[in-house]
């Protein structure tokens, strides 16, 4: 398996709180990798480490074989993009102007706005479906539109690798699917390597080409969704009894949580009486 981005024997810690020890992961090239796991399992921390926002206390993150913290910051920013969980749109900024900021790692003091910059920004807005909004102020947009604008900014960075930290949080179900469809398109049509942290297991199973399942700071399983998403593993990782069936739309694994009544089938009357 080819991997431009990997972490080896990482210890990840905030201050004195250690999140993970001896953690190793590899992101397969041209994959849509999704990291899943219960709350506080360290998945966002792992993404922060991979995106060089958090420096491992031990071990290293390797980008093209080199320690990411020894590489020049702008050079990394031309290879590896990140959509963080929280970004602030400056007051009154327009969509096109915000997207244009993604060009920063390609610009210089006397090279502030090349034709290439202009072309890439236009393409990024078209790819995310925000071209019509180009002149609108970002703070007037809906949550889903805003998220697409931020993704457009990350696209304008033109990085072969793009990391997304919970890109669907705070969006309603239609917008969640819209964003994930967009990610899938970027992955398939543009050949980018995507790494995302997702909360929803079924979204992960449907969209990912490679899954990394974490629990308590360790990788429990990694591989294609069909191999990773099994009833045993979901029970082991999330502590959730379930059945896994085929998604009638896509044929990918679909997790159906066990009903309370079925789980307590040995005492049906009590279960019904209890609600």
Partner 1 sequence: MITLRTPGGLSLRLRPRAIAVGVTCALLALALSVLAIGSGDYPMSPADVLRALTGRGTPAEEFIVTELRLPRVVTALCVGAALALAGAVFQSLVRNPLGSPDMLGFTQGAATGALVVVVVGGSSLALASSAVLGGLVTGALVYALSWRRGVHGYRLILVGIGTMAILTGVNGWLLTRAPLMDAARAVLWLTGSLDGRGWSNALPVLLALAVLVPLMLAGYGPAMRLVEMGDDTAAALGVRVERLRLVVLAAAVLLVSLAAAAAGPVNFVALTAPHLARRLTRAPGPNLLPSAAVGALLLVAADQLALRAFPGHQLPVGVVTGVLGGAYLVWLLATERRAGRL
Contact between 112 and partner 1 per CB under 8 A = yes
| Residue among 4 and 215 whose Cβ is closer to partner 1 | 4
206 by Cβ neighbours in 10 Å (0-12 / 13-18 / 19+) ranks as: buried
Contact between 141 and partner 1 per CB under 8 A = no
Question: What residues from 121 to 140 belong to the interface with partner 1 (CB under 8 A)?
Answer: none
What is the smallest separation between the CB atom of 165 and partner 1, expressed in angstroms? 8
Alpha-carbon distance of 66 to 122, in angstroms, equals 33
E strand intervals along the chain: 5-14, 17-27, 32-36, 58-63, 66-67, 80-83, 161-165, 193-197, 210-215, 218-223, 242-246, 253-257
What percent of the residues of the chain are helix, what percent strand, and what percent coil, each to the nearest 5? 40, 25, 35
| Residue among 118 and 246 whose Cβ is closer to partner 1 | 118
Q: Are 205 and 247 in contact (CB under 8 A)?
A: yes
What is the smallest separation between the CB atom of 188 and partner 1, expressed in angstroms? 23
Contact between 270 and partner 1 per CB under 8 A = no
Contact between 81 and partner 1 per CB under 8 A = yes
- SS3 assignment, position 104: helix
Contact between 53 and partner 1 per CB under 8 A = yes
Q: Are 273 and 246 in contact (CB under 8 A)?
A: no
| Residue among 103 and 215 whose Cβ is closer to partner 1 | 103
Q: Which residues neighbour 275 within 8 Å (Cβ) at sequence distance 6 or greater?
A: none
Contact between 105 and partner 1 per CB under 8 A = yes
Question: What residues from 10 to 29 belong to the interface with partner 1 (CB under 8 A)?
Answer: 14-15
Contact between 88 and partner 1 per CB under 8 A = yes
List residues near partner 1 by CB under 8 A. Answer: 14-15, 51-53, 73-78, 81-93, 97, 101-102, 104-105, 107, 109-115, 154, 157
């Amino acid at each position: 398996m080819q991997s431009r981005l990997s972490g080896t024997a990482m210890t990840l810690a905030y201050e004195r709180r250690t999140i993970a020890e001896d953690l190793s992961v590899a992101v397969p090239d041209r994959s849509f990798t999704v990291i899943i796991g219960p709350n506080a399992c360290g998945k966002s921390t792992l993404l922060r480490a991979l995106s060089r926002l958090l420096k491992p206390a031990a071990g290293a993150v390797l980008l093209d074989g080199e320690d990411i913290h020894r590489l020049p910051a702008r050079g990394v920013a031309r290879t590896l993009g990140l959509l963080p969980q929280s970004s602030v749109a400056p007051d009154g900024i327009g969509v096109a102007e915000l997207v244009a900021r993604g060009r920063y790692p390609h610009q210089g003091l006397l090279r502030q706005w090349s034709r290439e910059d202009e072309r890439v920004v236009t393409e990024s807005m078209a790819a995310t479906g925000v071209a019509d909004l180009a002149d609108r102020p970002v703070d007037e947009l809906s949550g889903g539109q805003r998220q697409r604008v931020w993704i457009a900014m990350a696209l304008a960075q033109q990085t072969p690798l793009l990391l997304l930290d919970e890109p669907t949080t705070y969006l309603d179900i239609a917008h969640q699917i819209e964003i994930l469809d967009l990610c899938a398109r970027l992955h398939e049509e543009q050949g980018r390597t995507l790494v995302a942290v997702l909360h929803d297991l079924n979204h992960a199973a449907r969209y990912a080409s490679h899954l990394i399942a974490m629990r308590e700071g360790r990788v429990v399983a990694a591989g294609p969704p069909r191999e990773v998403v099994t009833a045993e593993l979901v029970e082991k990782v999330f502590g959730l009894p379930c059945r896994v069936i085929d998604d009638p739309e896509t044929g990918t694994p679909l997790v159906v949580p066990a009903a309370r009544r079925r789980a307590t089938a040995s005492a049906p009357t009590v279960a019904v009486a209890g609600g």
